[in-house]
Amino acid sequence: MLEGIMLGLETAFSLQNLFLVVFGCLIGTLIGMLPGLGPMSIIAIMIPVAINIGDPSAALILLAGVYYGAIFGGSTSSILINAPGVAGTVATAFDGYPMARQGKAGKALTIAAISSFCGGTVGAILLLFFAPALSSVALLFHSAVYFALMVVGLSAIAAFAGSGKVAKALMMTIAGLMLATVGESALFNAPRFTMGLSDLQSGFSFVTLAMALFALPEALFLVLNPNKSNTSANNQAIKDLRITKEEAKKIAPVIARQSIQGFLIGVMPGAGATIASFLGYAVERNIAKGAEQEEFGKGSIKGLAAPEAANNAACTGSFVPLLTLGIPGSGTTAILLGALVALNVNPGPRLMIDNPSIFWAVIISMYIGNVVLLILNLPMIPYIAKLLTIPRNYLIPFILFFTMIGAYIGQNNATELLILIGLGIGATLLRFADYPLPPLLIGFILGGMMENNFARAVNLTDGAAFMYERPMTLGLLLVGVLLIVIPIFRKYRLKTNSINVADGD
Amino acid sequence: MTLDKCIAVLFLTVSIVYGYASYTYPLLPFELNMVFLPNTMPLALSVLGILISSIIILSKKQVPAESLTDGDIDFSRLRDYNWGQALGLLIAMTLYAVLLRPLGFIPSTVAFLVGCGWILGERRLHIMLASSLIGAGTIWYLVQEVLGIFLKPLPWFMG
């Protein structure tokens, strides 16, 4: 492990990679602050840049920096104007915005920066110890287990989609898997479901799909909803950045608890920063006593520190299944997985053995990224917040332009833009109908790999016997089934209980 | 019928068509003896798609009110939404997609950005034009000169 850390230090501390971390954090923070552009959209925009760097370690270091920066940038707009650009920072706005209204915007931003830093650092330390332990089971993994793991990942994503949305999330996952079957695959050399269109010969482009599912609907919603685009930042004083000793004492245990909890939630495929931040907020609110509990929602520093520490730790945690198992823990890491595959790197148990420099460099660059974020953001907070005041008439055209050019430069094909617009309209309709979109993208990314592993396993055992021959495969498949069945069963029980109570009344 | 059920009906239709296309997929002679065929997974997916969409269509449960207002959509205020502007932007995007190659990157991008600003109500053309030129020029320089991805900057008649 020490050898690996040294290798990571050597790679991450090269001048180019240090520059990329700083650049990534800066870009992520700046764009992440703009309402409507979350880490998924920003990473999707940055993918062509990352792919053109060529070196997978450098590309992943850049994208990880962007990821951290975007999460922090999202917190800034949540706190200042109550406009969370990212789902993971919605909980930050619960107490951050009331603090800003009380004239404590500077303090709120500082608490957010420090909590994010601690959450990210604790997460990176845990990743350092947990990731190698997980990847030590590398040799146990066969195509059958991989297939079962992907089933677990997809079921977990559906199960975590929220109450009443399991069926919708499953439908989206199947839609993603169907889209993945379009075009030629590595397994069969004939194109499938192209409807005779030569542009679909190589299937749908991942970048186009990511842009169409996330960036374009966000931009359209900014136009459609007049309230959402109201970006008049309040000009409360944001100069008082200091935290008192008592305040530090109050938030320290909160940050410690939520960093660990957030990391563990982030590790679970499908959970991610959003659930970690909400759960972190809920847990701290329940633990707090008396007056402190009353303060939650009205500007509590604990209520701000908890989701911030949790979401950054979860971001780091979501790298564990990505780097060691090849399963993305969230929509953002799904995009990162796509970028890695485009760079000819196959994340999974063998990554640490085949490409140790990539594995360790990413972990080390997480420490550096956290430090850089803190150094960059604390002094720049008053200035970067001014970006939020860019009028909507200028902001939206540029968001649309970046969305389209991101899809165009990847393929250099104008048809790709028409596909982007068509899919974007579809995605906007799906959002109106309350269908979760991340499962669609995760299904699309995992689809090809899932089919290949399934085919390999079926060919090896000459049938579907692989599903029950190995206990690990069987166990994982059962977990996958339980992840879908349990929430449905729980909901059914709740429903019958409420009917009984109503009858009793 | 609510929008989410309409989408489920649409998905059911897509699943049936997809299933039919998978079933009639022309297999090569040697593929007939294989255990796993190119249409094995598509067939399984179409069955799952039909099942799930049918569950959504047939479920009586109404979507909880809070999940409708969850996020950014306020269904009670749909009439206040700027539908005209959104449609205008989609048309501008389609025109940009069609004209990007013949007009060249810089003129088409400037026209797109100014046009979108105009649709959104911006009437100070000089500011919009200046910011579009700076934006388009910077991105063109970054993409072509720094990253080395070819982006034809000028219209067809100028080389």
CB within 8 Å: B90 and A49 = no
Tokens of A300: 């509590």
Q: Taking CA atoms, what residue in A is nearest to B69?
A: A434
Look at the alpha carbons of B148, B154, B155, B158 in this order and tell me if their dihedral is positive or negative.
Answer: negative
pLDDT higher than 90, residue A287: no
The more confidently predicted of residues A31 and A43 is A43
Distance from C-alpha of A5 to C-alpha of A353, rounded to nearest angstrom: 14
Mean predicted lDDT score pLDDT of chain A: 78
CA distances in angstroms from A289 to A170, A306, A427, listed in the order given: 40, 15, 43
Contacts of B49 in chain A (CB under 8 A): 171, 174-175, 178
State whether the Cα torsion B113-B114-B116-B117 is positive or negative.
positive
Q: Which residue has the higher pLDDT, A137 or B82?
A: B82
**Residue B29 corresponds to which tokens in the numbers above?**
């002679």
A389 close to A231: Cβ distance less than 8 angstroms: yes
Task: Tell me the CB-side half-sphere exposure of residue A294, using CA atoms within 13 A.
Answer: 2
Looking at beta carbons, which residues of chain A come within 8 Å of B101? 414
- What is the mean predicted confidence (pLDDT) over A128-145? 67
Count other C-beta atoms under 10 Å from residue A148's C-beta: 27
The winner for highest mean pLDDT among A13-27, A144-158, A315-329 is A13-27
Rounded distance between C-alpha atoms, residue A335 and residue A59, angstroms: 13
* Average pLDDT over every residue of A310-325: 83
* Parts of chain B with a pLDDT under 50: 64-71
At A240 the three-state DSSP class reads: coil
Higher pLDDT, A354 or A259: A259
Here the contacts of A248-252 (C-beta below 8 Å, separation 24 or greater) are: A250/A301, A250/A302, A251/A111, A251/A115, A251/A301, A251/A302, A251/A305
More confidently predicted of B147 and A58: A58
Tell me how far apart the alpha carbons of residues A303 and A285 are, in angstroms, rounded to a whole number. Answer: 7
pLDDT for A234 equals 44
pLDDT of A236? 44
Tokens of residue A349, six digits: 């148990």
Residues of B within 8 A of A417 (CB-CB) are: 93, 96-97, 100
Identify the band that residue A233 occupies on the pLDDT scale cut at 50, 70 and 90: very low
Rounded to the nearest angstrom, the gap between the alpha carbon of residue B27 and the centroid of all alpha carbons in its chain is 32
Token duo for residue B156: 């067809």
* pLDDT the model gives residue A231: 43
The pLDDT score that the predictor gives to residue B69 is 42
Q: What is the 3-state secondary structure (H, E, C) of A37-81?
A: CCHHHHHHHHHHHHHHHCCHHHHHHHHHHHHHHHHHHHHHHHHHH
In 3D space, the residue among A226, A402, A35 whose CA is nearest the CA of residue B83 turns out to be: A226
CB-CB neighbors (< 8 A) of B67 in chain A: 162, 164-165, 434
Q: Which of B41, B122, B138 to mutate to test the interface with A (most CBs of A within 10 A)?
A: B41
Q: How far apart are CA A117 and CA A99, in angstroms?
A: 20
Residue B44: what pLDDT?
93
| pTM for the structure as a whole | 0.70
The secondary structure of A400-413 as a DSSP string is HHHHHHHHHHHH--
> Average pLDDT, stretch A366-378?
81
Distance CA(B96)–CA(B23), nearest Å, equals 39
Beta bridge partner(s), residue A183: A192
Q: A192 pairs with which residues across the strands?
A: A183
- Cβ pairs A/B, distance under 8 A: 177
pLDDT tens, position by position, B92-115: 999 999 999 899 999 999 999 999
pLDDT in tens, A324-352: 777 776 677 888 888 888 888 877 777 77
Q: Do B101 and A414 touch (CB under 8 A)?
A: yes
Over range A207-220, report the average pLDDT: 79
